[in-house]
Amino acid sequence: MTDEQMPSLADLMDGDEEGLSDVDYVAARVAEATTPGFHSGFMCLVGRPNAGKSTLTNALVGSKIAISSSKPQTTRHVIRGVVSTAQAQLVLIDTPGLHKPRTLLGERLNDLVFDTWSQVDVIGVCLPSNQRIGPGDAYLVSQIAELAHRPTLIALATKSDLVSSGRMAEHLASITELEQQTGVTFAEIVPCSALEGSQVDEVRDIVIGLLPEGPAYYPDGEITDEPTETLVAELIREAALEDLRDELPHSVAVEIVEMGNREGRPQDRPLLDVVANIVVERNSQKGILIGAKGSHIREVGTRARSHISALLGTPVHLDLQVKVLEDWQSDPRYLNRLGF
């Protein structure tokens, strides 16, 4: 079946067959769209902050679709990346990290995580090789173990480039102990390094081997279903987070005010105009983000323009403003406005 013939989820739900329930109807249409021997499904990566989840997502997809940072709770949206081969399609879902919520935003992000876990086929638990496995890892895996529908689990010993072979052997033994402690069984345990590309292809092939037969959910060549505005906003937020410390990173959000190609430009010399607000919770945070005589906001703009241009393949003019929305993380109106 060609991409043009492939029904969307909306198509699948639009219509009925006499005597079939909605669920049976969808199942029948999906089966009709499935090529024998073709495997497809969904996977999410989980782990402590800075475990390498977003970096591995980008490495598997082959393009930067998820922002990465050493700051906790960097990921706030569910980002879907698509990995396609001749015989399979893997949809990677990069989720926020599970954490103890202190705000309404934190509660909503945790709900999003649990909802995603219950719907995927495979969960990859990222356990960085350069860190000891601790109570946080055990808690995370135990929460997955309690799911009514538990996906297939694999353990990913990320950041393998940072450790010796001896330390890696210790780490793999600790992962086995984690299985015994939490009562789960990992289908595979795979050392990998997203930064160097070591064993990334092996991770992809192992996960694909665990997927059921199914249709291609996305056209060949598509790497994400995220709206361009969302990706641009996330790249701006990543640039803003780079030099920030303490609690300020949690208070930063980005909203796109306006985005579009500048009129009157030659077709071979396009320019994308982006107007965006960087949102913080207090006036003191606004001053930090702007910096002395605007020095920090200029650095943010320079970094963000570079990443946006690389992603979209076009020059970018970026107009950034810093806006204060008091305690936006705990205000339902502001959360809804900012897309949470």
Binding residues for GTP: 47-54, 94-98, 158-161
Q: Which structure tokens are listed for 186? A: 């990992």
Burial 226-264 (b: 16+ CB within 10 A, else e): beeebbbbbbbbbbbbeebeeebbbbbbbbbeebeeeee
Containing 171, the helix (H) or strand (E) segment is helix 165-182
**Annotated binding-site residue numbers:** 47-54, 94-98, 158-161
* 201/204 Cα distance (integer angstroms): 5
H or E segment to which residue 136 belongs? helix 135-145
**Rounded to the nearest 5 degrees, what angle is found at the Cα of 28, between the Cα atoms of 81 and 82?**
5
Query: What whole-number distance in Å separates Cα of residue 275 and Cα of residue 262?
Result: 12
How far apart, in whole angstroms, are the C-alpha atoms of residue 26 and residue 191? 38
Q: Please, which residues have CB within 8 angstroms of residue 222's CB and are 6 or more apart in sequence?
A: 82, 84
User: Is residue 29 within 8 Å of residue 12, measured between CB atoms?
Assistant: yes
Which residues of the chain form beta strands (DSSP E)? Answer: 39-47, 79-84, 88-94, 122-126, 152-157, 188-191, 253-261, 272-280, 316-324
Query: C-alpha 214: how far from its chain's center?
Result: 23
Judge whether 139 and 170 are in contact, CB under 8 Å. no
